[in-house]
């Protein structure tokens, strides 16, 4: 329904998938060999980006290091590429391994810069990235379009030794050749020049798009001085609003007496939309949110138009009818198969969502709401929460004290020990961090040996940190890029969230079953699922280790799989302990949470389906400069995905980072595609016996040795069949969402 604009974005923000920088593979040795020129030597000595670090020196990197460091690095890598092209031979050691070393250092250093830009943004850092980005992209294009490297891979595939190569090596060769074609290697000079200009411009536009969203979000502030205006907001929200006011210069602000600062940062926004009795306030903040970055200097509308034009031009240069076809060239699905799945789920969800809306109207009418017969976009979430509270006797604010971040992490780590026989132990101080709130951990196997590491950055910092939640790579597992020749380099990950920070003596308290907010228990489990696939891989070939080389529409399998464990009784009871008393969540409350699990499941399903369908429409059927605008398409799709009329002024597209500044262009359907896989994977544990710990450990071991171990070294369908013993079925997903009866 209409509030899906807000809810879907918040859901997608908290479920952001791993970002994909250019192959992250680190050199074995310092980036310079021999005696470099004095100026370069000085750069090495004083620039932290150019050190041969074990972990990135996040505490030492600043904007002044970016341009000189990247220029020195790119110049060196240009020379390395020239030497590789001169000496390349059609053998694995002569082409794949040198290529991995070149791409590794670039992705590690550039990844560190972009990570800081996402979590510690400054105007100087933005300017530095903007200045050096064209040179970095130009090098990437040159690497992508290297004919000597392409021809060497082609010769390997055509050689008599092809049949003796491992599955991973074959996947690397075939995907490298396909990617080279999709990146313009076959173009003649004029076409190549046009293609490369498109690539540069798309990168520039995506960067501006994301920056406009961040700036527009920071720009909105509403100071409230009368408590009656925010009646209904729970104590936690009032404390956060007062804390925000203090940070904005209102030193005497208190939760009891104000003033209170409301922003578009999710913890603030969601509290108002869900709890404020003041309908005018809900309307104001809703309108502000769904029109972010759609006017003035921060207007993303012309950027979207230009991105869509350039993507279409790029697709046609490569011989595709539209960008969706180009996107699907490296995915499991086809455009037709993706549309077929989305329509099947839409029709099932629509029937249920219409019933949900009628129930909501009847309930609000029974409560004497004057807007009951005309519920609109800023009413749906408010009345949904009141209905859920009434129907299941669940109050989210009463639940939150049971879900403190420290307890959630302990419970998650206990689950991982049970399922995968690994230990997660603090390793603070081992690696530099960018903020004092960031924690560093080591994962050890059953023998106590380290197998991976990760950073965890949990709290919202709206003045400098991108919204949402995501997992990203620092280092990939790699045999070639190990620091010594007798072992592999261990993977390292980032896990980033934007939860409400501790307030006074209170720890960060999370929502449990609130559908519209990423500040949930399941957010942690989701992002950790991504990280597990990266960190528990047993694939030593860096180009397909962990999340690398996996078809994008399968990438959400482990993340969505992990979310299911939030409702597992022993897991939930292990994390749900009152932060003050230590009391476990009462049994009757657990039963209520189970009962409420599928509350308005059809409506929730439509939230993502709308944007998956809209994404494909814009990238397959939309005609730039044609009779329809992007907002006309949005409204048209809304009519078949929103049980109430779409909001005419909706400009949510201007804030849709996933498809205009992320990796989900013509790929947002991947959430639903992978949800089929993840639900079926979890059903294997249900079949084994969800309370039989011996069976769970055995099934967990099989999941670990297949889905989490193989990386991109095997096709995801083959991996799934190896784990499940058959091809995936949509039945578990419909069953988990209580939608099976709707299909009858």
Supply the pLDDT for residue 266: 83
pLDDT number for residue 519? 59
Q: What secondary structure, in 3-state letters, does 320-337 show? A: CCCHHHHHHCCCCCCHHH
In the predicted model, is pLDDT for residue 26 greater than 90? no
Note the pLDDT of residue 356: 94
HEC string for 249-286: CCCCCECCCECEEEECCHHHHHHHHHHCCCHHHHHHHH
User: What mean pLDDT is predicted for residues 610-625?
Assistant: 96
Task: State how beta strands 492-499 and 260-263 pair.
Answer: unpaired
Mean pLDDT across 254-267? 93
Q: What is this structure's pTM?
A: 0.87
Helix (H, G, I), strand (E, B) or coil at 292: coil
> pLDDT tens digits, residue range 679-699?
999 999 999 999 999 999 999
Q: Is 484 exposed, middle or buried (0-12, 13-18, 19+ CB in 10 A)?
A: exposed
**Most distant CA pair in the chain: distance in Å?**
81
* Interstrand relation of 423-426 and 439-444 (parallel, antiparallel or unpaired): antiparallel
Closest CA to 323 of 310, 306, 339: 310
Which of the residues are catalytic?
A: 527
Mean model confidence pLDDT for the chain = 90
Strand partners, 443: 424, 452
* Statement: residue 18 has pLDDT above 60: no
Q: Is 723 helix (H, G, I), strand (E, B) or coil?
A: helix
Using CA of residue 241, residue 121, residue 196, residue 554, what is the dihedral sign?
negative
Please tell me the total number of residues recorded for the chain in this structure.
744
Q: Does position 497 have pLDDT exceeding 50, yes or no?
A: yes
SS3 at position 489: strand
Q: Between β-strands 492-499 and 470-475, what pairing exists: parallel, antiparallel or unpaired?
A: antiparallel
φ, ψ of residue 111 to 5 degrees: the values are: -65, -40
Helix (H, G, I), strand (E, B) or coil at 404: strand
- Give, for 297, the enclosing helix (H) or strand (E): none
Confidence of residue 468 (pLDDT cuts 50, 70, 90): confident
Residue 485 has pLDDT above 80, yes or no: no
pLDDT at 499 over 50: yes
What integer pLDDT is reported at residue 46 of this predicted model?
87
Q: Looking at the predicted structure, is the pLDDT value of residue 402 above 90?
A: yes
Q: Has residue 15 got a pLDDT over 50?
A: no
**pLDDT tens digit sequence for 548-565:** 999 999 999 999 999 999
Q: Residue 45 — very low, low, confident or very high, per pLDDT cuts 50/70/90? A: low
Which of 344-353, 501-510, 696-705 shows the lowest mean pLDDT across its residues? 501-510
What's the average model confidence in pLDDT over 351-366? Answer: 95
pLDDT band at residue 741, thresholds of 50, 70 and 90?
Answer: low
Q: What is the mean pLDDT of residues 199-205?
A: 96
- Nearest Cα neighbor of 742 from 348, 302, 288, 336 is 348
What span, in angstroms and rounded, lies between the C-alpha atoms of 677 and 732? Answer: 9
**How buried is residue 545: exposed, middle or buried, by Cβ count under 10 Å (0-12/13-18/19+)?**
buried
The CB density around residue 469, as the number of other CB atoms within 10 Å, is 25
Determine which helix (DSSP H) or strand (DSSP E) holds 7, and give its type and residue range: helix 4-14
pLDDT for 13: 33
Higher pLDDT, 570 or 38: 570
CA dist 491 and 537 (Å) reads 8
Which of 21-35, 290-304, 424-438, 681-695 has the weakest average pLDDT? Answer: 21-35
Lowest pLDDT segment from 43-57, 167-181, 570-584:
43-57
Question: Tokens at residue 740, please?
Answer: 């099976």
Return d(Cα 360, Cα 383) in angstroms, integer. Answer: 7
What value does the mean pLDDT take over residues 515-540? 87
Query: Per the structure block, which two tokens stand in for 372?
Result: 């009951």
Nearest to 312 by CA among 739, 552, 665, 5: 665
| φ/ψ of residue 472, rounded to 5 | -145, 160
Assign 398 a pLDDT band (cuts: 50, 70, 90): confident
Question: Is residue 200 very low, low, confident or very high in pLDDT (cuts 50, 70, 90)?
Answer: very high
Q: What are phi and psi of 521, to 5 degrees?
A: -60, -45
Give the number of C-alpha atoms closer than 13 A to the C-alpha of residue 538, restricted to the C-beta side.
Answer: 10
- Per-residue pLDDT band for 515 (boundaries 50, 70, 90) equals low
Mean pLDDT over 622-626 rounds to: 93
User: What are the start-end ranges of the E strands in 574-629?
Assistant: none
Instruction: Indicate if the pLDDT at residue 36 is higher than 80.
Output: no
pLDDT, residue 4, reads 32
Give me the pLDDT at residue 9, please: 31
Using only the alpha carbons of the chain, give its radius of gyration.
Answer: 25
- The stretch 445-460 carries a mean pLDDT of 96
The three-state secondary structure class of 411 is helix
Average pLDDT, integer, range 373-400: 91
At residue 530, does pLDDT exceed 60? Answer: yes
Whether residue 286 contacts residue 378, with contact meaning beta carbons closer than 8 Å, is answered with yes
Q: Which two tokens stand for residue 169?
A: 């090596």
- Quote the CA–CA distance of 525 and 469 in Å, as a whole number: 11
Average pLDDT over residues 352-359: 94
Report DSSP letters for 24-67, one per residue.
----SS-S--S---HHHHHHHHH-GGGS--SS--TTT--HHHHH
Predicted confidence (pLDDT) per residue in 214-248, tens digit = 999 999 999 999 999 999 999 889 999 999 999 99
Burial 314-329 (b: 16+ CB within 10 A, else e): bbebbebebbbbbbbe
Residue 486's pLDDT is 80
Residue 517: pLDDT above 70? Answer: no
Query: Using CA of residue 167, residue 333, residue 99, residue 471, what is the dihedral sign?
Result: negative
Taking residues 640-666, what's their average pLDDT? 94
What's the order of all strands across the beta sheet hosting 492-499?
Answer: 423-426, 439-444, 450-459, 492-499, 470-475
Q: Are 23 and 548 spatial neighbours (Cβ–Cβ below 8 Å)?
A: yes
Please choose, from the candidates 135, 138, 319, 298, the residue with its C-alpha nearest in 3D space to the C-alpha of residue 219.
298
Res. 83: pLDDT tops 60? yes
> What's the rounded Cα separation, in Å, for the pair 263 and 62?
28
Q: Give the pairing of strands 492-499 and 450-459.
A: parallel
Positions of E strands within 445-574 = 450-459, 470-475, 492-499
> Which of 66-80, 105-119, 320-334, 725-739 is least confident?
725-739
Could you give the percent of the chain with pLDDT greater than 70?
92
CA distance 366 to 372: 9
Instruction: Give me the percent of the chain exceeding a pLDDT of 90.
Output: 83
Local structure of 579: helix, strand or coil: coil
pLDDT-based confidence at 446, cuts 50/70/90?
very high
pLDDT for res 3? 30
CA distance 375 to 324: 36
What per-residue string of b and e applies to 551-571 under the rule 16 or more CB within 10 Å gives b?
bbbbbbbbbbbbbbbbbbeeb
């Amino acid at each position: 329904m209409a509030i899906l604009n807000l809810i879907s974005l918040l859901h997608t923000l908290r479920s952001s998938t791993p970002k994909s920088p250019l192959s992250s593979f680190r050199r074995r040795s310092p980036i310079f060999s021999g005696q470099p020129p004095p100026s370069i030597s000085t750069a090495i000595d004083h620039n932290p980006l150019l050190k041969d670090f074990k972990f990135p020196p996040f505490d030492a990197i600043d904007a002044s290091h970016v341009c000189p460091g990247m220029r020195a690095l790119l110049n060196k890598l240009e020379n390395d590429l020239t030497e590789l092209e001169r000496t390349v031979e059609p053998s694995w050691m002569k082409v794949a391994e040198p290529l991995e070393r070149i791409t590794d250092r670039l992705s590690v250093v550039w990844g560190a810069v972009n990570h800081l830009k996402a979590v510690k943004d400054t105007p100087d850092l933005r300017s530095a990235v903007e200045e050096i980005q064209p040179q970095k992209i130009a090098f990437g294009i040159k690497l992508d379009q290297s004919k000597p490297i392409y021809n060497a891979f082609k010769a390997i595939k055509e050689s008599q030794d092809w049949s003796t190569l491992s599955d991973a090596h074959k996947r690397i060769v075939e995907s490298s050749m396909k990617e080279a074609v999709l990146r313009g290697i076959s173009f003649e000079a004029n076409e190549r020049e046009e293609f490369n200009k498109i690539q540069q411009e798309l990168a520039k536009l995506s960067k501006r798009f994301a920056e406009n969203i961040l700036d527009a979000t920071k720009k909105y502030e509403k100071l409230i001085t009368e408590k009656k205006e925010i009646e209904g907001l729970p104590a936690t929200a009032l404390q956060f609003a007062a804390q925000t006011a203090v940070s904005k210069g209102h030193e005497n602000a208190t939760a009891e007496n104000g003033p209170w600062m409301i922003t578009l940062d999710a913890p603030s926004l969601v509290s108002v939309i869900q709890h404020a009795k003041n309908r005018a306030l809900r309307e104001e903040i809703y309108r502000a949110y769904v029109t972010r970055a759609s006017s003035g200097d921060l207007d993303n509308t012309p950027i979207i138009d230009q991105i869509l034009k350039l993507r279409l031009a790029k697709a046609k240069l490569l011989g595709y009818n539209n960008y969706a076809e180009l996107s699907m060239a490296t995915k499991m699905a086809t455009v037709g198969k993706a549309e077929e799945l989305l329509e099947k789920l839409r029709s099932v969800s629509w029937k249920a969502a219409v019933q949900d809306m009628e129930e909501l109207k009847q309930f609000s009418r029974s409560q004497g709401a004057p807007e009951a017969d005309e519920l609109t976009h800023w009413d749906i979430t408010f009345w949904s929460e009141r209905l859920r509270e009434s129907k299941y006797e669940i109050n989210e604010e009463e639940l939150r004290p049971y879900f403190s971040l420290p307890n959630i992490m302990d419970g998650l780590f206990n689950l991982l020990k049970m399922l995968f026989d690994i230990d997660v132990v603090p390793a603070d101080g081992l690696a530099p961090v960018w903020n004092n709130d960031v924690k560093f951990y080591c994962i050890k196997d059953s023998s106590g040996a380290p197998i991976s590491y990760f950073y965890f950055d949990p709290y919202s910092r709206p003045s400098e940190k991108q919204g949402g939640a995501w997992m990203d790579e620092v280092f990939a597992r790699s045999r070639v890029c190990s620091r010594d020749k007798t072992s592999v380099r261990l993977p390292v990950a980032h896990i980033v969230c934007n939860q409400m920070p501790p307030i006074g003596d209170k720890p960060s308290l999370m929502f449990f079953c609130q559908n519209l907010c990423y500040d949930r228990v399941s957010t942690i489990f989701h992002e950790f699922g991504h990280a597990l696939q990266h960190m528990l891989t047993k694939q030593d070939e860096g180009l397909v280790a962990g999340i690398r080389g996996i078809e994008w529409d399968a990438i959400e399998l482990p993340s969505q799989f992990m979310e299911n464990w939030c409702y597992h009784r022993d897991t939930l009871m292990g994390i749900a302990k009152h932060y003050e008393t230590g009391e476990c969540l009462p049994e009757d409350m657990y039963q209520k949470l189970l009962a409420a699990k599928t509350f308005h499941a059809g409506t929730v399903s439509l939230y993502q389906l709308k944007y998956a369908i809209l994404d494909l429409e814009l990238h397959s059927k939309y005609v730039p400069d044609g009779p329809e605008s992007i907002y006309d398409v949005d409204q048209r799709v809304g009519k078949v995905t929103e049980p109430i009329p779409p909001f005419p002024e909706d400009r949510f597209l201007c804030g849709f980072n996933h498809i205009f500044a992320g990796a989900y262009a013509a790929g947002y359907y991947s959430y639903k595609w992978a949800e089929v896989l993840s639900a079926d994977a979890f059903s294997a544990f249900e079949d084994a016996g969800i309370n039989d710990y011996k069976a769970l450990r055995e099934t967990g071991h099989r999941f670990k040795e297949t889905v989490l171990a193989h990386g991109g070294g095997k096709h995801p369908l083959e991996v799934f069949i190896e784990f499940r013993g058959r091809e995936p079925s949509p039945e578990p997903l419909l069953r988990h969402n209580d939608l099976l009866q709707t299909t009858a």
